[in-house]
């Protein structure tokens, strides 16, 4: 799965985690997920969805790791997947 496909799929997961309140199109346009309307419950749902779908661990408390944008999430997931495959 390339970066474009990964970005699209994660945007879909974010939208689903918010019950559709945040649209895929808005996420793909960029900007802060919080500003778009992703709340703490949506973020927790999203973390669960990413961990289940990609088999990676998402640590929201990791120092120096900002997860405020879609691209932040894509970078995190791509990096974690690369680490798993060595």
**What ranges do the domains of the chain cover?**
3-80
User: Domain 3-80 belongs to what topology?
Assistant: 1.10.1200
| Intra-chain end-to-end CA distance of the chain, in Å | 16
Beta bridge partners of 69: 32
User: How many CB atoms neighbour CB 33 within 10 A?
Assistant: 23
Q: What is the pTM of this model?
A: 0.89
Q: What is the pLDDT of residue 83?
A: 83
Please report where in the chains the tokens 């802060």 appear, as a residue. Answer: 32
Q: What is the pLDDT of residue 67?
A: 78
Give me the average pLDDT of each 10-residue run along the chain (86 residues).
90 96 95 93 93 87 75 90 79
């Amino acid at each position: 799965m390339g970066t474009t496909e990964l970005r699209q799929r994660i945007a879909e997961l974010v939208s689903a985690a918010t019950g559709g309140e945040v649209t895929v199109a808005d996420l793909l346009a960029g900007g802060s997920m919080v500003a778009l309307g992703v709340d703490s419950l949506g973020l927790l749902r999203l973390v669960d969805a990413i961990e289940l779908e990609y088999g990676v661990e998402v640590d929201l408390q990791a120092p120096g790791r900002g997860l405020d944008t879609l691209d932040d999430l894509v970078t995190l997931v791509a990096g974690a997947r690369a680490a798993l495959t060595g």
